[in-house]
Amino acid sequence: MQVVTTRAELATARARLRQVGLVPTMGYLHEGHLSLVRAARAQNEAVVVSIFVNPTQFGAGEDFETYPRDTERDLQLLADAGVDLVWMPQVHDVYPPGASTSVLVSGLTDVLEGAHRPGHFTGVATVVAILLNATRADRAYFGQKDAQQVLVVRRMVDDLAIPTTIVTVPTHREGDGLAMSSRNVYLDEQQRPHATVLVQALTAASRAWSGGERDADRLRAAMTHVLAAEPLAQPDYVSVADPQTLAELSTIDPARGALCSLAVRFGRTRLIDNVVLSAADQSAVDSPAEQPDGKARHT
């Protein structure tokens, strides 16, 4: 496994690789990241992983400085997983001095995470565009846990004619159902057992959907009811939205389904999760927003 930092080093290393699958990360890797690596390994001749804690996607008062980092452990996990190339740039390698270009994806970024974290998705779209162009990836792999991020990236790739296929991989979960996240480490011993309320709320919506419920307000109410029973949980939002536009729904069209998502705070720790309610009745909490061939649906 080769590790490079600069764009020039990356270009030289990339020239020796064919059919590249990229897994963009911010490090502090867990099994969820490794599931993306395995998916990339299965579909490509070479796997490239980027490790970069992107400052432009963190807002004022967010956890950029304290975001968990463990480079030595990350590199060992990636070597064990058979990764070919790791790009670990510094900020100036991603954003050269004088850089003044950013990518704004309108509409999809105005709601949910975008409404609660202004500027977040501009940072995400900009860095992902740089990563895709710098690595010239044939495919790039993202987790379903960040469903809105996947939609934003797909929209950007389509709009800018970036020749990379975006692949969505199912959310990887702990044994008790909590979606794996680098931020789970922030939960203290008291908070951690109660964090499963996110998946419990989504399961309540899934069961209602499977039982024939198509009223979006009732699904929101089902999730809100579960969250309200957990005193440590402080919801930012509870959403039942169109799975492509993220417009909030009143009645769900069975042919289009819906994306149920939520963001919940436990003290200073903020967690997100979602479930796709599909026409095929994919009501399990880890249902991926992808086609049977593993490729993400395009808007």
Note down pLDDT in tens along the chain; length 299 residues: 999 999 999 999 999 999 999 999 999 999 999 999 999 999 999 999 999 999 999 999 999 999 999 999 999 999 999 999 999 999 999 999 999 999 999 999 999 999 999 999 999 999 999 999 999 999 999 999 999 999 999 999 999 999 999 999 999 999 999 999 999 999 999 999 999 999 999 999 999 999 999 999 999 999 999 999 999 999 999 999 999 999 999 999 999 999 999 999 999 999 999 999 997 754 344 333 333 333 333 32
Residue 282 lies in a domain: no
Residue corresponding to tokens 């991020």 = 149
For residues 126 and 208, state if they share a domain: no
Known binding positions for (R)-pantoate: 57, 149
For residues 88 and 201, state if they share a domain: no
For residues 197 and 157, state if they share a domain: no
Q: What are phi and psi of 108, to 5 degrees?
A: -60, -25
Quote the domain boundaries for residue 257. Answer: 188-277
Q: What are phi and psi of 141, to 5 degrees?
A: -115, 130
Q: CATH no. for residue 126? A: 3.40.50.620
For residues 126 and 251, state if they share a domain: no
> In angstroms, rounded to a whole number, what is the distance separating the alpha carbons of residues 180 and 157?
26
- Number of domains forming the structure of the chain: 2
Largest CA distance in the chain: 56
> In angstroms, rounded to a whole number, what is the distance separating the alpha carbons of residues 55 and 62?
10
For residues 100 and 237, state if they share a domain: no
Residue 180 lies in a domain: no
Residue 54 lies in a domain: yes
Buried b / exposed e along 67-77 (16+ C-beta atoms within 10 A): beeeeeebbeb
Residues designated catalytic: 33
Residue 66 lies in a domain: yes
Amino acid at 199: V
For residues 91 and 235, state if they share a domain: no
Known binding positions: 26-33, 57, 143-146, 149, 180-183
Instruction: Give the pTM.
Output: 0.92
For residues 107 and 202, state if they share a domain: no
For residues 50 and 165, state if they share a domain: yes
For residues 50 and 92, state if they share a domain: yes
Residue 206 lies in a domain: yes
| CB hemisphere CA count around 76 (13 angstroms) | 4
For residues 197 and 120, state if they share a domain: no
DSSP symbols for 199-227? HHHHHHHHHHHHTT--BHHHHHHHHHHHH
Residue 291 lies in a domain: no
For residues 159 and 193, state if they share a domain: no
Residue 164 lies in a domain: yes
For residues 95 and 16, state if they share a domain: yes
Known binding positions for ATP: 26-33, 143-146, 180-183
* Structure tokens belonging to residue 200: 């419990």
Residue 294 lies in a domain: no
Buried b / exposed e along 165-183 (16+ C-beta atoms within 10 A): bbbbbbbbbbeebbbbbbe
For the purposes of burial, counting CB atoms within 10 Å of the CB of 105, is it exposed (0-12), middle (13-18) or buried (19 or more)?
A: buried
